[in-house]
């Protein structure tokens, strides 16, 4: 089964800065990579997802960068705001074509005002 390794475990960024969270996966055949955002006391919610036929996907201040050869994908949050403070999870299919997801360990992001 696919494993996904996420780093860092925690991150503190000043307001207006760029937050960067990285994930590494094992199998290059996998082809769907979502990021989930979780606020305290809530369940995770889909933030943004990418398929590896593109190297980058942008939605507002959130960007996923995908490096297939390195088997890595990253979440960039531009102009980080205190409201972005949350835990972020990357994920990947458990195996090729799988519907169920395997999640990374999570990154607790804190944006200082």
Q: In the block, which residue shows the tokens 């409201």?
A: 83
Give yes or no for residue 78 binding another protein (CB under 8 A). no
Q: Which candidate, 47, 60, 57, 59, places its Cα nearest to that of 91? A: 47
- Using CB under 8 A as the binding rule, whether residue 94 contacts another protein is answered as yes
Between the alpha carbon of residue 53 and those of residues 33, 67, 82, 108, the distances in Å are 11, 11, 32, 29
Residue closest to 14 by CA, chosen among 79, 62, 87, 86: 79
Q: Which of 13, 44, 73, 111 binds another protein (CB under 8 A)?
A: 44
- Choosing from 11, 24, 49, 57, the residue that interacts with another protein (CB under 8 A) is 49
Select the span of 11-19, 30-38, 61-69, 73-81 touching another protein (CB under 8 A). Answer: 30-38
97 binds another protein (CB under 8 A): yes
**Contact between 34 and another protein (CB under 8 A)?**
yes
Residues 89 and 7: beta-carbon distance below 8 Å: no
**Does the protein bind another protein through residue 99 (CB under 8 A)?**
yes
Rule CB under 8 A: say whether 112 interacts with another protein. Answer: no
Q: Smallest distance from the beta carbon of 64 to another protein, in angstroms?
A: 14
d(CA 68, CA 11): 25
Instruction: Establish if 104 lies at the interface with another protein (CB under 8 A).
Output: yes
């Amino acid at each position: 089964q696919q494993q996904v390794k996420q780093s860092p475990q925690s991150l503190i960024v000043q307001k207006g800065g760029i937050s960067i969270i990285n994930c590494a996966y094992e199998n290059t055949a996998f082809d769907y990579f979502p990021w989930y955002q979780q606020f305290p006391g809530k369940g995770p919610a889909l933030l943004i997802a990418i398929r590896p036929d593109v190297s980058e996907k942008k939605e507002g201040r959130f960007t996923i960068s995908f490096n297939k050869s390195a088997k890595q994908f990253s979440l960039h949050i531009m102009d980080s705001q205190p409201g972005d403070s949350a835990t972020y999870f990357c994920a990947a299919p458990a195996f090729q074509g799988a519907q169920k997801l395997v999640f990374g360990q999570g990154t607790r992001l804190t944006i200082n005002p």
